[in-house]
């Protein structure tokens, strides 16, 4: 905060008390999780004609690893398949651009697959470090990228996925949702 000359009231950083006396009589109750959305999501996918619906609710790894895992899985199947993944990925930012992990994820996926698959990567709290909650990639977008002789890697290296999706208008703006039940990744063969 000092580096950017941002003044914050020190009371904002008061440590949570550790003494058990402060929590006597407290009870934590989980009201909502991403699992509440999993079953309706699976049901809707089956209604839409997907024969294989794979749902996983505990994604927790680095973006580049999960991109590779999803691509490997999609390559192995010939059936009409949809992957619905929930969780939180991590990303080490190396550039000075704009964009969050979901936008980076989608752009990296597009680069690796060359548009062979459909992918949406969504932040449920509506904020992926930009006004965009999600990014969408598919074969149509990849054809536009080729036509424009766009260098996807330049956007990835600069961590500037926001400008890419802004340019191609393949983003979703949800407005503030007021909740966060992790990120959602949906991938399918086209």
155 vs 150: CA distance, rounded Å: 10
101 vs 112: CA distance, rounded Å: 16
User: Residues of the chain whose pLDDT is less than 50?
Assistant: none
Q: Return the structure tokens found at 119.
A: 């992918």
Dmax of the chain from CA atoms? 65
pLDDT per position as a tens digit, 58-74:
888 899 899 999 999 89
- Mapping DSSP onto H, E and C, the string for the chain reads CCCCCCCCCHHHHCCCCCCHHHHCCCCCCCCCCCHHHHHHHHHHHHHCCCCEEEEEEEECCEHHHHHHHHHHHHHHCCCCEEEEEEECCECCCCCCCCCCHHHHHHHHHHHHHCCCEEEEEEECCCCCCCCCCEEEECHHHHHHHHHCCCCHHHHHHCCCHHHHHHHHCCEECCCCCCCCCCEEEEEEEC
What is the per-residue pLDDT for 152?
Answer: 97
117 contacts: CB under 8 Å, gap ≥ 6: 71, 74, 109, 138, 187, 188, 189, 190
166 contacts: CB under 8 Å, gap ≥ 6: 132
What is the per-residue pLDDT for 40?
Answer: 85
What is the per-residue pLDDT for 10?
Answer: 63
What is the per-residue pLDDT for 11?
Answer: 61
Show the domains of the chain with their CATH numbers: 34-189 (3.40.1480.10)
CB 80, CB 50: distance < 8 Å:
yes
Q: Is 26 left (phi over 0), alpha (psi -120 to 50) or beta?
A: beta
Q: Return the structure tokens found at 37.
A: 């959305």
What is the per-residue pLDDT for 12?
Answer: 61
Q: In 3D, which of 45, 111, 112 has the Cα closest to residue 84?
A: 45
C-alpha distances (whole Å) from 47 to each of 42, 52, 160 are 9, 11, 37
């Amino acid at each position: 905060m000092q580096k950017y000359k941002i003044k914050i009231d020190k009371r904002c950083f008061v440590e949570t008390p550790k003494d058990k006396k402060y929590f006597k009589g407290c009870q934590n109750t989980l009201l909502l999780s991403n699992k509440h959305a999993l079953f309706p999501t699976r049901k809707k996918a089956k209604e839409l004609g997907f024969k294989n619906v794979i749902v996983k609710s505990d994604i927790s790894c680095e973006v580049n690893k999960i991109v590779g895992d999803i691509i490997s899985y999609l390559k192995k199947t010939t059936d009409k398949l949809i992957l619905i993944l929930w969780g939180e990925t991590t990303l080490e930012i190396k550039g000075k651009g704009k964009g969050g992990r979901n936008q980076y994820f989608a752009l990296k996926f597009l680069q690796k697959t060359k548009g062979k698959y459909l992918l949406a990567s969504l932040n449920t709290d509506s904020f992926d470090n930009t006004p965009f909650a999600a990014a969408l990639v598919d074969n149509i977008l990849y054809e536009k990228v080729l036509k424009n002789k766009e260098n996807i890697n330049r956007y990835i290296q600069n961590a500037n996925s926001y400008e890419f999706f802004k340019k191609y208008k393949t983003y979703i703006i949800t407005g503030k949702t007021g909740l966060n039940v992790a990120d959602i990744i949906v991938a399918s063969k086209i």
